[in-house]
Structure 1
Amino acid sequence: MLRQAIMSCRSGGAVSVIGVYGGLIDKFPAGAWMNRSLTLRTGQCHVRRYMLPLLERIERGEIDPTRIITHTLPLEETERGFEMFKNKQNDCEKVVLKP
């Protein structure tokens, strides 16, 4: 995805990676990045800043998060859910834990 973003960005534009980007990048297009004067910006998401306002919008029905939820597990299976997410098993993107 990062390679695709770099190759799709207009010259002089910016590519931003927000959140957790794990793993090594193979065949990183450094030439395209440098020759087209792209700005590469990264950073962790400010979870504490956005969590409450987003949760309130979900509760009001303004945002539907179901399109990103791929797995729902009981709270007792937290460790399994984390491992599945971390290792990208079973096409896992987002796990919701139910108490």
Structure 2
Amino acid sequence: MAIDRIPERLALAKAANAEVLNYEEIDVGEAVKEMTGGRGPDACIDAVGMEAHGTDAMALYDKVKQAVRLETGRALVLRQAMATPTLRYAACRKGGTVSVPGVYGGFIDKMPMGAVVNKGLTIKSGQTHVHRYLQPLLERIQNQEIDPSFVITHKMKLEDAPKGYKIFRDKEDNCIKVVLTP
């Protein structure tokens, strides 16, 4: 049975000096309000996409609709970034930006478009432009300005790729990132 990757990912974020807020332990909406003096952050990033988890009614709603194939993604985090005061979270400030590099596979439901318009939010989305960033990032790694190796939890031979994909997909063995060596 798969286990949730949240503790491992939070630990990685903390190791990278990020300020970590665990929705299972605190009310993230209240914490963000307090951290920003009630204003909300200038930008919010939905980096999780269609596999978002939560503990409220909307999270359950998404999970059920996805299970019966009436929805292809759980947009909980995206809604939280855009939210109206009637929802539990109202993260992004008026005039802020919501960035969506998280992967969505099709249809999602219950999007607060009124909040997007009324708050004047800018929505930016799309997959990472690998070709644009690959060379500058490689140069920074080579110059030892950054070291992304802390995210690697498993190293395997290329022929073990199916096993590596399976443990990543099934969230086994605290797997975050698999590197394959030919």
TM-score normalised to the size of structure 2? 0.43
Map of 1:77 onto structure 2: 160
Residue 14 (structure 1) shift: 1.1
Whole-angstrom distance in 2 between the partners of 1:55 and 1:68: 16
Moved more, 51-60 or 29-38: 29-38
1:97 corresponds in structure 2 to 180
Partner of 2:129: 46
Matched, 1:62 2:138: no
- What secondary structure sits across from 2:156 in the alignment? strand
More strand by share: 1
Aligned Cα RMSD in Å?
A: 2.7
1:14 has 2:97 as partner: yes
SS in 1 for 2:128: coil
Give the greater-gyration-radius structure (CA): 2
Separation in structure 1 between the aligned mates of residue 111 and residue 166 of structure 2, nearest angstrom: 27
1:9-62 CA deviation, whole Å, 9 max, x = no partner?
A: 1111111123x5145656644453343221211012111221122112112211
- C-alpha change, 1:83 and 1:69, in structure 2 (3 Å) is same
The number of residue pairs the alignment matches comes to 97
1:52-99 CA distance string (max 9 Å, x none): 2211211221111023223222211123333444x3523543221123
1-structure distance, mates of 2:110, 2:150 = 30
State TM-score, norm by structure 1.
0.70
Q: Greater CA deviation, 50-59 or 89-98?
A: 89-98
Residues 83 and 16 (structure 1 numbering): CA distance in 2 closer, same or farther, change over 3 Å?
Answer: same
The structure where helix makes up a greater share of residues is: 1
Corresponding residue for residue 78 of structure 2: 2
Q: Which runs of 5+ in 1 are unaligned?
A: none
